[in-house]
Structure 1
């Protein structure tokens, strides 16, 4: 039965939110006009505020209805069917909410609502900024809500509704022609790569950064609009810090998701979608530096306007790149085109034209300082740092936009086949590495000059100790690398320069932090953030520049001529239960495991009898972890993710006693092929990164050898595929998993004990008499490459016929990489975040202090002021 009520409520909410955004933006625009302010008429501002409240309430209704559609499995709606399924746990239902374009737009809209309400509340006493800032917020919300409006006027489509019914989305599908009320029993599910906890928290954090970027932009636009060219800096600066830390954390969460989930062996692949969010973050950080410079030295106001406008426009450009379909096959992360490319371009163009035109119109009125900046001035190095950040962003932007150039040239009738670089990592790294060096040096020099008041003698004294420590530690690292502490000797000049620059940044900023501890901790927020970035650079240097492939193929064999050279060269073939030497480890593969709800860890697949429902299995024996028994034989088990298989790989150090086990995950997806996710062993100084590169195709029938038949008496011993097996007899079984037993049906199973290399195996092939027909259920021992079938019983001679097929043993092809000091990257991310938070707290404290000083200032009577005038 199709329930259209919930969808009607959601779509009505979208229309109300859209109309309320129009009213709010217009009312706030009217409230921002100078004449209205002078008249003291507050009605327009109140109308704008209450309209935004209505807009916010409508957005919450939309969110509730869309999640309800997903949670209640209402597959009559296309969004629920295409992004969720019956067996998704709740936290992955949350992920499926924003997997589609419409849901991600709604997430962005939601964060704007939250931030807008905070801004309204914080400006309730001081109303100067509410109208211009919230006017810009409402105007942005107008565009964003139009993206999910889902209204078609003739040939014009405005937005894509998440509340469209399946029968309306796919009207030509035959099933809907036969039955318009058809509802699918299950959805297509969430992309398997997104079924990861980081995909529950990464998108909200990233979109919070997107949303927060609007705040400093809105303040800057409000300052230009109202002619308050410098007053906007102080209220905007904490928000700029907040936007930078949210966006930065969102980017790094995505990097960790890639590191933990994807199998390219890294955290950053210079994919166009990754670049699209990295570019505005760099520019935003540059804007923060120029804003701080203006706060201190009254220089850099025009640069602050330019960079803040650029950062917001680049956010919109990133949205256009990733959602318009223009990237095509250039990115594995981009959304498909929903027919919104024109609307997205309008959104981008509207704010680009509006902001740039207003900046040009007000340019001559923006105050500048005549103060000359010297090379020993902290502000000078802040500007140099902002320039380096922008140059780094421009290099990435220029290359990432190649598909846009092609599209534009094609639009005007010029054919262009320009392509992204074949080796994108090498292309970007050759410039970004030097940008990293420059940033590291500038974070050290700039901070020392900033806090030493630009005095030459003081600066020389301040730089001496960090410089000496840098040379000492850099020399120590290089010597240790020559002694074999790294698998490669550190002799690459570029990497040595980056090492020296990053170490200098760490020690220079550490010296600032220590010198400020006795004053006020929050004063050192900038130094903490800069030290975090330096640690990140060190982590990137070692984990990417000196990673070590420990799974080198030294056998001299080519696994398959169909495989690329990299798999044949950098992977090791592991036969099941056969130890193999790999670098300093002895590695062995011990079978396939799955997740069972209610059982910690993983359960050996040999203990699971599959049923017709892939999410249900029957226990073939006791399932226990340690001494605790979770299920008995015959119990019905619920599977967590039956499409995922975990491969048990045991590592043992050949020159030590360390033994540990990893469970890399893989699944064969019908649409995406082999999807492999790594398992990672974390050490203090490195990560051992392990993933499966190839497995036997589970959908292909095994190539079993010729059936060998054995007539056995109880106690007989035979040799099966080089393994000793003992026949212990037969027994009647009351129930057979997956078979409904009726009165008169009989099932018996044979019991064979097989002695493998590592353990004993019990095989129980079943012979079943049902409805006077004989059926057989063979037992497969995957570890040994055997399949046993109970063929017949010779009651006269007390003999039992067992059939045995042998096959190639199970195997995996494995890649393992050591990533030295990758922890420095994640630690640096946390340190940088702490520094940004400290900076936000400091700005808030400074604001409170300024307010208290204003209140404490003695009041001069009005008449006295007139006489003084």
Structure 2
């Protein structure tokens, strides 16, 4: 038992909680005191307290990773999320696989950002870091894992709890209290993806960064510096918008590469819980920019900045309280933290609202009426549109919460989430997106505070003409006939063209001002990418046989999926589609090997080569042990069109412990379109056990014969001295036949064994799964130089697949990256402005 490392980790947790409270109190005193000497002393205490807190948080992270990396499976966290076969990069991703680990990741990023704030902004340090430290105390409490004596109230869930304590009622621990499992449960196969190594840290950095503008806003209200907080907060808001947007993009791309719903966004409640705060954050950025340029929209900025952080807390409550357990496949189960999360949410919501109300009348506001031809008016309209977009998503997503609240008051609610979430949300969000696109195009022309109608008309004429020409070409060539998509295309093209014009003008004079134009160009590209990839995705696996795959499946499933038998091509939508059989992927060397060319061992991750195998230029010798990627089976699907061949390897795994059939798609990427294929159903192992009656025949070496209509030949029969790793005694005899079978797409080999051990005959048949053949060496007839072979046949291997063609999806990915670049340019500009102000002593 490795008790010390767990005790050390728990000590770090307690230390992080206490030091965050100490830092919060010290910074609070530094903020409220007027005596400079005492203020400086408390400020130093606060800084020391927060640095100690940051060291404790780092200690928590290091100790937990030591437990995971060293496979200390006596700890529940290591046992539940890792195993000995995971490579280092997936061991890293297990760190944030559980709720406790994700809270730790959040704590870590807050600690890093807090140190940066301390180092870069002395003037605001005390009030801002007071808010930081209080937030850290709440987060640290989530992983305390302590029970208050006498009250039986548990605070937090510790990542350092022992397995025996987490599973007290398990019979094994009743019999053997010191029992330690030899291996862990492992990481969900769907999470064994490189995006899961970088997506969660990026997303949580985005979550954590929203605390910075929120803290500056609260500090501004607290210190009655109503105007001053915007300047230092704006670069952080831009940073947060970029990082949170990038995290959402990564999550969408992971879903696209890993999940089988055929897209990158499913309007799942957990996806929505991240999307809504980001929309409000973008709205807040625009109102803050408006205030920096014209001293309007200050109150709107305060409301939105507070709203962003509260929505981040609300999304945390949604995803971690267990309230979405029946509504989302991505949500965590309740670890008993829902009460704490509720207090966490309402503490900051209540504190922010009370402070804002108390200061509301003192907050300066502009008395000027915004003209329709002013920049402020259009930015305000854009911010309202973004908030309405978020509101339309937030309300239905919160239905489980409303039901819970009504149930608490004794009211039975039968509200349910939309049955078809994609159709429900998309029909509203599409039109919001059109408005955002048009505003992104028009709003950029209001570069100055006011522009008259004649000048606006002149500025818009050229972009409008170019837009109409490009729009006509896209609609004609792309065959865009749906009215809603026609309007979306027009909005996207107009956004691109108008902002390209602005960008060209700005680059000639002030490149540093190009962030807005670049970001809006990204928006236009995203609109076009979404329109084509989602609206004009084409199913190329349509079932035109007139026969149902199965009555158990829905009508849509039977229509959109194709049943393929191995080596039997089917024609569809200009493609020839053929299933070439099951494949395995070596863990380290790349390439794919035929499942029939190897023999499984007792270890799920190891197989033995039956013969020499060449895969992706790597040669495996006969009897080599090959380390493969666990229980994953890859299905080789070949699509041919216009003399081009596309080979894809979607994967599937029959895993009852994780929901039955786990599948991931494979994608053949081209510039103009992605060919997206995933497995929908596979042949159950039991179906491969229904063999025909044994057919016996006698053949000689070199003689051709037919096995299930396949031309076959007995190539050789050789004596062997080891069977399945067991050496044979001198009086034992074993021979192995090598039989070549000529399949539709190449040769297959079977190597049945006949042996006499301990004066008893035994036969070990060999199966060629792709061809539905099992061959047995039944007997040897030396008097005639013949060998008796037994042939069994079964239904050939089959798989049900769905294949889609997704046009111009790369425009979406590229547009999202361009949007992030625009955020980065704008953030760099604001940071430089802030530094100049600091140098002048104005901040």
Shorter-chain TM-score bucket reads over 0.9
Which stretch has the larger CA shift, 561-570 or 501-510? 561-570
Residues 710, 801 of structure 1: 8 Å contact kept: yes
| Residue in 2 that maps onto 1:211 | 208
Deviation at residue 714 of structure 1 after TM alignment: 3.0
Measured against aligned partners, the alpha-carbon deviations of 1:671-730 in whole angstroms (never above 9, x if no partner) come to: 311111111111211111111111101355521111111122334332221112223341
1:192 matches 2:189: yes
Q: 651, 657, 670: which is aligned to 2:639?
A: 651
| Residue in 1 that maps onto 2:813 | 826
| Residue in 1 that maps onto 2:656 | 670
Measured against aligned partners, the alpha-carbon deviations of 1:234-260 in whole angstroms (never above 9, x if no partner) come to: 100000001111111111110111111
| Residue in 2 that maps onto 1:660 | 646
Structure 2 residues without counterparts, runs of 5 or longer: none
Deviation at residue 453 of structure 1 after TM alignment: 4.8
Match of 1:328, SS state, is coil
1:149 matches 2:144: yes
Distance 2:786 2:605 in 1: 39
Deviation at residue 367 of structure 1 after TM alignment: 0.5
Measured against aligned partners, the alpha-carbon deviations of 1:5-38 in whole angstroms (never above 9, x if no partner) come to: 100000000000000000000110111015245x
Structure 1 residues without counterparts, runs of 5 or longer: 482-488, 856-869
Q: 272, 275, 281: which is aligned to 2:272?
A: 275
Residues 379, 450 of structure 1: 8 Å contact kept: no
| Residue in 2 that maps onto 1:137 | 132
CA 1:738–1:564: 2 relative to 1, 3 Å: farther
| Residue in 1 that maps onto 2:734 | 747
Residues 622, 629 of structure 1: 8 Å contact kept: no
1:420 matches 2:417: yes
Residues 711, 800 of structure 1: 8 Å contact kept: yes
CA 1:833–1:505: 2 relative to 1, 3 Å: same
Deviation at residue 311 of structure 1 after TM alignment: 0.5
Residues 320, 333 of structure 2: 8 Å contact kept: yes
Deviation at residue 477 of structure 1 after TM alignment: 1.6
| Residue in 2 that maps onto 1:380 | 377
Match of 1:517, SS state, is helix
Residues 778, 789 of structure 2: 8 Å contact kept: yes
Residues 13, 62 of structure 1: 8 Å contact kept: yes
Residues 765, 775 of structure 2: 8 Å contact kept: yes
Distance 1:683 1:700 in 2: 37
| Residue in 1 that maps onto 2:312 | 315
Distance 2:35 2:687 in 1: 76
Distance 1:710 1:452 in 2: 93
Match of 1:227, SS state, is coil
Match of 2:365, SS state, is coil
| Residue in 1 that maps onto 2:717 | 730
Distance 1:768 1:59 in 2: 63
TM-score by length of 1: 0.95
Deviation at residue 521 of structure 1 after TM alignment: 1.8
Distance 1:510 1:740 in 2: 75
Q: 94, 97, 106: which is aligned to 2:95?
A: 97
Deviation at residue 781 of structure 1 after TM alignment: 1.2
Distance 1:194 1:404 in 2: 28
| Residue in 2 that maps onto 1:255 | 252
Measured against aligned partners, the alpha-carbon deviations of 1:422-480 in whole angstroms (never above 9, x if no partner) come to: 11112111211111011001111111112585243332222111111111111112222
Match of 1:358, SS state, is helix
Match of 1:528, SS state, is helix
| Residue in 1 that maps onto 2:696 | 709
| Residue in 2 that maps onto 1:797 | 784
Distance 1:245 1:666 in 2: 35
TM-score by length of 2: 0.97
Aligned residue pairs, count = 839
CA RMSD for the aligned pairs? 1.5
Distance 1:141 1:372 in 2: 42
| Residue in 1 that maps onto 2:482 | 492
Q: 328, 341, 345: which is aligned to 1:344?
A: 341
Distance 1:795 1:519 in 2: 94
Deviation at residue 742 of structure 1 after TM alignment: 4.2
Measured against aligned partners, the alpha-carbon deviations of 1:732-787 in whole angstroms (never above 9, x if no partner) come to: 12333444444443220122222222223232111122333322221111222110
Matches within 5 A, 1:518-557: 518-557=508-547
Residues 595, 642 of structure 1: 8 Å contact kept: no
Distance 1:199 1:738 in 2: 39
| Residue in 1 that maps onto 2:23 | 24
| Residue in 1 that maps onto 2:754 | 767
1:642 matches 2:639: no
Distance 1:536 1:744 in 2: 74
| Residue in 1 that maps onto 2:34 | 35
Residues 73, 183 of structure 2: 8 Å contact kept: yes
1:395 matches 2:383: no
Distance 2:730 2:524 in 1: 75
| Residue in 2 that maps onto 1:486 | none
1:632 matches 2:621: yes
Distance 1:615 1:381 in 2: 60
| Residue in 2 that maps onto 1:860 | none
CA 1:723–1:478: 2 relative to 1, 3 Å: same
Measured against aligned partners, the alpha-carbon deviations of 1:87-134 in whole angstroms (never above 9, x if no partner) come to: 1111111111101000000000000001001111112xxx22000101
Distance 2:24 2:702 in 1: 88
Deviation at residue 853 of structure 1 after TM alignment: 5.6
Distance 1:303 1:36 in 2: 34
